[in-house]
Structure 1
Amino acid sequence: MNKSHLRGATSFGVLILALAAHGAAMAQDSQESPQTDLGDVVVTATRREQSVLDVPYNISAVSGEAIEDAKMTDAAELMRGIPGVSVVDRGYRNSGVLNNVLMRGINVDSNALGDYAVSSVAPVSTYINDTPVFAGFLLKDLERVEILRGPQGTLYGSGSLGGTVRYITRAPKLGVFEGAANVTGSNVEGSDSIGWGADLTLNVPLGDTVAFRATITRLDYPGLTDYVNLYVLDGTGAPAAPGGILSPDAAYRSQKDADTVDIWFGRAALRWVPNEWFDATATYARQSDEIGGRRQVTRGVDGFGNAYGDYENGSVQLEPSSRDVSLASLEMNVDLGFATLTSSTSHYEHEGDSVSENTGFYAKAGFLSFYYNYPRPMASAERAYSDEATIQEVRLVSQTGGDFDYVVGAFYNDNTLIVSQDSYLRGFKRWWDLATGFPAAVSGDRDFIYRRHEEFTDKAIFGELTWHATDTLALTGGVRWFENEAVNNTFIDVPLYNSLSQPVTATFRSSESKALFKANLSWAFDDDGLFYATVSEGYRRGGSNAVPLAGNFAEDPRWQVYTSDSVVNYEAGVKGRRGSVVYDAALFYVDWEDIQLNTATPTWGFYVVQNGGKARTYGLETAIDVRPTDALHYSLGYTYTNARLSENVVSPLGTILALDGASLPGTPEHAITVAADYTWRMGGDIDVVARTSGFYQSGTRNAIGGPTFNTALPGFQIWNVSASLVRGPWAATLFVKNVFNEAGVTGEFTEAYMGTAPAAGYYGNGSKEFISLPRTIGLSLDYSF
């Protein structure tokens, strides 16, 4: 690690630790300050209940109460408050397609991905309780969210390259009838309407040994993005032709607030505890999204020279999306005395579809000339995906108290991923028939068909053994052996010109097996202080692309297979509590090899995953959490991340796609998080609570590679404030999110990639910036019983 970089990385970290020491002194000098319980937060990241301060790696936990108090509903807002975590905020459209969470700089994919499901899994894994699934559920009725930084390959398997996020839902409570209701109204900058949301949660005991818990949520938010270049469509769905089919004239219209959000979410759980040694919980969750368009805005001008406004999009068609996701699970625990045996069985189904504006891409890529620059070009991509899996995990976790602790288990995942795309040139067939007089040459408006059906089977055994060498020193070793099998069937056709159409189905099978390792040392240097050092590995499963090797669409066989990629993480840290101050700091260094990059073949543009290149990331993660008095609580975090390629990324054909030393996309070099709350006791049962939180990140890159995608995204800061009036079971909260209305851009479709092209007859503009949620003012009412 370069010494000047290390000094820059640690300077703010030293400030945080100095503040921690100062806060500890304040806490010890104050007669009003109670002993904080922040260090006693219990997590299950190590597969056993443990204080967060006893976990020998860098982990954060956010309680469900904190999420509810801040009126958060999506992961982007939550993750921005976690040191060491960054997000690509694509809004609600297609929010379940790609995981938007990044840790420790482990990412090479373009921030602009997200319209279609890719074959590779994300570099940060997500869990709902014990189920590995990225579902994008609303943050409702959660016990806590655990954020595990760094690879967790031994316990959490494929995809945990940068870390793991665990969403722990609230279990039904035995013998307790309780509930909560909420209604929220809000207005977003750029919108003329009021959005609303409502929640209802009930916990119902059913005798002494059974309890039922359910929550239901409805969100109905008006959009804020105006689509100002929409074609007027005729009865066939093609652009209207006021001057006749052969005339280049078109008619346009605008639609205000097109990116509407309509979401239903529900979860129900039944818990049975017949005795002291058995506990079973069955859970079912479901969410349905209907989204009217993108919360993404176009900069620059349209083909007529008109500049776009703050919340305007240049697409010539609406871009709605919808999805449905359901998850059923059964988790059972048996106390055997010497250990706890746990079985987790789950099944999820996740499917969605969307319409994307592709005209700007066709125009910039020169494709429209292949279609004779037909007037009023409108290229639509109708995409769909289906992700379904059945998962079983069994593990045995020893009771603590002896010289040795262990976790051993077996894992099975049967996953089916289906992706489709149908691309259309709306109105092309009608124009062709009139312009050429040869209707037999063109089959219709559909110019591309793509179907990918993949089957993944993941089997693994894993274990960790901890030796408590002394009362203060522990050594842990871990291993996971996995075997993956993959089958890919891909169908491709370009059917528009009958002379070129030659449908092809390609099939390919692949398999791999490997062992991952982990070693950890932890030393409790006092009653509330822990030093740890870890070397850990993470991996991401491989598979096949199944490109066609014969016919009109033949590709090079070197694109056929991609293998797993892996990281080795070196980490040392310290955490603990001094008085009312909880602190943690960690230095990390990560080597990444055989990097998986989601890309497309250069000949026919088939979606593929390739391996290539190496990267290394290093940095510092620091945070303090202080409660100097009963009334005041604050936290501060700083992260420095240097994430770069350490070897050229080269395609299977030998083409250099990105150069050694290039910054990895999506991760800022510097990030700061702050939060504070203060409570006034007004007498009686009335409290007033004021809260503020802030987030700053330095500039990022949009992608690796050439200037068409690899652009600089400026740094930004987002501040939120709220005030709650609490009286008994009632609470009213006035909140403002993104107080200073920062654009907060985390990705873009560039002008060079999808801009306007009036010479080709395209007068819209397909370029877009992914903005954060603009300033939002709202009022929330809560009642608990």
Structure 2
Amino acid sequence: MSRVSRHSGRIQIFSALLAGTALATPAFFAAAAQDADDGTAVETVSRQKTVTVTATRRSESLTDVPYNISAVSGDELEASNILDEAELLRSVPGVAVVDRGARNAGTLNAARIRGLAVDGNALGDYAVSSVASVSTYVNDTPIFAGFMLKDIERVEVLRGPQGTLYGSGSLGGTVKYITRDPVLGEFGGNVSASLSSVEGSEDIGFAYDGVLNVPLGDTMAVRLVGSVTDYPGLVDYVNVYELDANGIPVAPNGVLDPAASYRSVEDADTVEQWMGRATLLWEPSSAARVKLVHTRQSDDIGGRRQVTVGEDGFGDTYGDYENGSIQLEPSSRDVNSTSLEAEFDVGFATLTSSTSHYDHSGDSVSENTGFYAQAGFLGFYYNYPRPMASAVRTYADEAFVQEVRLVTDGNDTFDYVVGGFYRKQQLQSTQESYLRGFKNWWDAFLPGAAAAVTGDQDFAYRRTENFEELAAFGELTWHATPDFDLTVGARYFDNESENDTFIDLPLYASFSEPTEAFFESSEDDILFKVNASWDFNDYDMLYATISEGYRRGGSNAVPLTGTFAEDPRWQIYTADSVTNYELGIKGQRGDIRYDVSAFLVDWQDPQLNTSTTNWGFFVVQNGEEAQTYGLEASLDGYLSDNWHYSLGYAYVNAELTSDFYAPDRPAPAAPIALDGAMLPGTPEHALNWALDYTTTVGSDWTWFSRVDGYYQSETRNAVTTSPRFNVPLDGFAIWNATTTLSNDAFDLSLWIKNIANEDGVTGVFTEAYMGTAPSLGYFGNANKQLIALPRTIGATVRYKF
């Protein structure tokens, strides 16, 4: 099929989706609500709660926002006993998530919206240069840190590019976490404790949480939040070397003999986290509001929640929840974030200043022996017994952010948002790789040439990147009639970046000289947005949007001369951008709230995190183009006073629309990914659903029960042509349930996650990429599947005061 005919086919399918959206008339929802003709369903008192969001930078009802947005309240998070971000995002229609577990939760953003991702699902062990395709905010601070979901007011998920208001990284959308504010004049809080048991674990997990709200006079209050979790692991590392005091594999029969000693470590992937947040609110008058927030979180993770399939080098088959790494793979991280937000009512508008600083750093140890064993050309590393390749990695992300905006009150013929944004950010990433025990073996095997090997370190890599971003943005809304609004928006950005990279292969003396490369780049452009909305009756809105989003570009700073020389075409990667076309209908009729939209997104110059051809520098490269289109729908309603339901569905067709070439190997060389390749991590079909029941028990207690679920169809692990990476991943469904008894003082909850104990695989390191190699002395197996949290049963007690 030719490209022209295939594009024509896509347009026809998208047109059909648009027609289907237009035909999703409010009459259907009115009929479901009851009697559409006489309007009785609308005139009855609705059981729907008004949901206020700030997606447009002003507070307004969820049903009044003229594009596709979802909101999950903090009360819903607590009532459902949602444990982590993966579970939260699965509850939102149209959001896919690569569930890497706690070990990599803060390294890379796992959310994928509208299929806009080309990086492989298994990527996540190390920090990358390009920003994620979905931006995240905590209050007004643009930060991705994987904070624990504690004392949250609500989570807003904005689908589609949000470039004008939210800047770089909002290609697919934006996720905003809004924390709860202190309450003036009230003393109170709550404490809770949870116990849980997860399938495959030999121990019990626990979590303790506390919230304290303290008034400080009539105009000031402080809110303190603390959380400690200690979850036992469930994955057994069954091929781990016994190590001596220097961290070298024990040689029971001497250094030159190939024998090794192994041990099994049960439940190695332990999770220990603590988080603290302090919020100070000062409202000196009705026209001024100042909020200071500081959050700190620390994570210590014992290993991967990832399992190995197949056999080890001895021919023994791995069992459930077993990992074949020959070494433990712990990680840790620390996050500090401080923000000062000030709002001033200037009569016709609200002036807001948001100043923030954050510092996020982490480290990990990864098993690289399986990678070297399968790499072929690196086989010379395996000429020694008990091979053990360790990749010790660190990352750091520190930024200062300032935003100022003026937002009118929304009551005039013309309303606007206008603002300025500044960010200064530094990213650091290192990898120190070691062949543990190689030096000991070399000295024993060739004592006369001991000086030829410097030690166990075989690779050193350090990268420091500095980004400076300055932007001006604005949106102007014309309320042309009481029923019709037209919004135009733009964002001008000017970015500068510099990259300083160091690389060395220090294992063999005089093999090479270390190399350092430095490169600077800059870019500027303007993004646009047009949105129209029509309230064609009192209950329903038709909306249409054309919007742009982008990710900043940068430089890769590869050396051009010397041992580690690379092609100069690797030096720069440019910003990638999307143009989104969307048509939708939303509204509320009685007890039913709905939103249906069709979209088409053209993606230019998509960024792929990869490595250079010659020496494996971590780099970003651009492709040519990709396209996604689909349909998103959500329905929320009440069957009666007691029964409430929600339904969500997303259809996404996401694929490359041109071949993808390495910069130093353009056509007619073989492409690294093919035109028509399905973009990774996004299912074609995804469903989520929930049904809850609330009733009173006696005079003082309320009983709440909920069953919810998520289904996704088959996905791909990667977009490249290589079968070492691009393999299919089966679809799966996850069901959860919770039941809670509550009164004014206590909540008593029982809950279960992943009732059917689905594997829920969302990424893999294949056997061909990181398998076993007994012929080279490697008897472990480093292939891995990224699995969802297995069946977990828990109980929570909360005391409110």
* TM-score bucket (shorter structure): over 0.9
Q: Does 1:418 align with 2:433?
A: no
Deviates more, 1:493-502 or 1:477-486: 493-502
Q: Does 1:45 align with 2:61?
A: no
Change (3 A) 1:367 1:221: farther
RMSD of equivalent CA atoms: 1.8
1:15-94 correspondence runs (5 A): 20-25=29-34, 34-38=45-49, 40-94=50-104
Q: Does 1:506 align with 2:522?
A: no
Distance (whole Å) between structure 2 residues aligned to residue 328 and residue 349 of structure 1: 9
Which SS does the other structure have where 2:247 is aligned?
coil
In structure 2, the partner of 1:376 is: 386
Change (3 A) 1:439 1:697: same
Deviations 1:566-599 (A, max 9, x none): 0000001000011100000000000000111000
In structure 2, the partner of 1:580 is: 591
Is contact 2:290–2:343 with CA below 8 Å preserved after alignment? yes
The offset of 1:15, in angstroms, is 9.3
Is contact 2:22–2:585 with CA below 8 Å preserved after alignment? no
Deviations 1:184-207 (A, max 9, x none): 000000001110001000111100
Which SS does the other structure have where 1:360 is aligned?
helix
1:610-629 correspondence runs (5 A): 610-629=621-640
1:720-739 correspondence runs (5 A): 720-739=736-755
In structure 2, the partner of 1:702 is: 717
Q: Percent identity?
A: 60
* 2:412 corresponds to which of 402, 425, 429: 402
In structure 2, the partner of 1:351 is: 361
In structure 1, the partner of 2:605 is: 594
Which SS does the other structure have where 1:434 is aligned?
helix
The offset of 1:95, in angstroms, is 1.0
1:503-652 correspondence runs (5 A): 503-652=514-663
The offset of 1:33, in angstroms, is 7.6
Distance (whole Å) between structure 2 residues aligned to residue 331 and residue 11 of structure 1: 43
Distance (whole Å) between structure 2 residues aligned to residue 280 and residue 372 of structure 1: 61
Distance (whole Å) between structure 2 residues aligned to residue 507 and residue 318 of structure 1: 35
Q: Does 1:102 align with 2:112?
A: yes
Is contact 1:383–1:419 with CA below 8 Å preserved after alignment? yes
Q: Does 1:113 align with 2:123?
A: yes
In structure 2, the partner of 1:455 is: 466
Distance (whole Å) between structure 1 residues aligned to residue 28 and residue 255 of structure 2: 71
In structure 2, the partner of 1:387 is: 397
Q: TM-score, normalised by structure 1?
A: 0.98
Which SS does the other structure have where 2:125 is aligned?
coil
Distance (whole Å) between structure 2 residues aligned to residue 367 and residue 87 of structure 1: 35
Change (3 A) 1:29 1:688: farther
Is contact 1:368–1:374 with CA below 8 Å preserved after alignment? no
Q: Does 1:750 align with 2:760?
A: no
2:561 aligned partner, one-letter code: A
Is contact 2:21–2:596 with CA below 8 Å preserved after alignment? no
Which SS does the other structure have where 1:224 is aligned?
coil
In structure 2, the partner of 1:246 is: 256
1:318-333 correspondence runs (5 A): 318-333=328-343
In structure 2, the partner of 1:692 is: 707
1:776 aligned partner, one-letter code: T
Is contact 2:680–2:717 with CA below 8 Å preserved after alignment? yes
Q: Does 1:435 align with 2:445?
A: yes
Deviations 1:739-776 (A, max 9, x none): 00000000010111001111111100000000000000
The offset of 1:371, in angstroms, is 2.3
The offset of 1:731, in angstroms, is 1.2
The offset of 1:728, in angstroms, is 2.7
Is contact 1:16–1:636 with CA below 8 Å preserved after alignment? no
Is contact 2:21–2:585 with CA below 8 Å preserved after alignment? no
Deviations 1:508-528 (A, max 9, x none): 000000000000111011112
The offset of 1:177, in angstroms, is 1.2
Which ranges of structure 2 fall in alignment gaps of 5 or more residues?
1-9
Is contact 1:32–1:630 with CA below 8 Å preserved after alignment? no
Change (3 A) 1:569 1:11: closer
Change (3 A) 1:93 1:165: same
Q: Does 1:304 align with 2:314?
A: yes
* 2:680 corresponds to which of 641, 665, 671: 665
Change (3 A) 1:748 1:11: farther
Q: Does 1:149 align with 2:165?
A: no
1:720 aligned partner, one-letter code: N
Change (3 A) 1:4 1:388: closer
1:769 aligned partner, one-letter code: Q
The offset of 1:368, in angstroms, is 4.7
Change (3 A) 1:369 1:591: same
1:230-241 correspondence runs (5 A): 230-241=240-251
Which SS does the other structure have where 2:672 is aligned?
strand
The offset of 1:687, in angstroms, is 1.8
Distance (whole Å) between structure 2 residues aligned to residue 2 and residue 226 of structure 1: 50
Deviates more, 1:26-35 or 1:130-139: 26-35
Is contact 2:162–2:174 with CA below 8 Å preserved after alignment? yes
Is contact 1:368–1:760 with CA below 8 Å preserved after alignment? no
* 1:277 corresponds to which of 281, 287, 304: 287
In structure 1, the partner of 2:6 is: none
Distance (whole Å) between structure 2 residues aligned to residue 431 and residue 498 of structure 1: 16
Which SS does the other structure have where 1:558 is aligned?
helix
Change (3 A) 1:17 1:617: farther
Is contact 1:16–1:623 with CA below 8 Å preserved after alignment? no
Q: TM-score, normalised by structure 2?
A: 0.96
Deviations 1:696-749 (A, max 9, x none): 000000001111100000000000011111233211111110000000000010
Q: Does 1:172 align with 2:219?
A: no
Distance (whole Å) between structure 2 residues aligned to residue 8 and residue 497 of structure 1: 61
The offset of 1:366, in angstroms, is 2.1
Distance (whole Å) between structure 1 residues aligned to residue 386 and residue 508 of structure 2: 19
In structure 2, the partner of 1:337 is: 347
Is contact 2:42–2:589 with CA below 8 Å preserved after alignment? no
Is contact 1:30–1:628 with CA below 8 Å preserved after alignment? no
Q: Does 1:474 align with 2:485?
A: yes
Is contact 2:21–2:598 with CA below 8 Å preserved after alignment? no
The offset of 1:25, in angstroms, is 1.5
1:672 aligned partner, one-letter code: L
Distance (whole Å) between structure 2 residues aligned to residue 297 and residue 8 of structure 1: 40
Q: Does 1:768 align with 2:774?
A: no
In structure 1, the partner of 2:193 is: 183
2:531 aligned partner, one-letter code: N
Which ranges of structure 1 fall in alignment gaps of 5 or more residues?
none
1:477 aligned partner, one-letter code: V
Distance (whole Å) between structure 2 residues aligned to residue 565 and residue 742 of structure 1: 36
The offset of 1:2, in angstroms, is 5.7
Q: Does 1:782 align with 2:798?
A: yes
In structure 2, the partner of 1:125 is: 135
Which SS does the other structure have where 2:566 is aligned?
coil
Which SS does the other structure have where 2:253 is aligned?
coil
Change (3 A) 1:711 1:541: same
Q: Does 1:213 align with 2:223?
A: yes
Is contact 1:583–1:625 with CA below 8 Å preserved after alignment? yes
1:739 aligned partner, one-letter code: I
Change (3 A) 1:32 1:760: farther
Which SS does the other structure have where 2:86 is aligned?
helix
Distance (whole Å) between structure 1 residues aligned to residue 19 and residue 74 of structure 2: 32
Distance (whole Å) between structure 1 residues aligned to residue 749 and residue 18 of structure 2: 38
Deviations 1:285-312 (A, max 9, x none): 0000000000000001101111111100
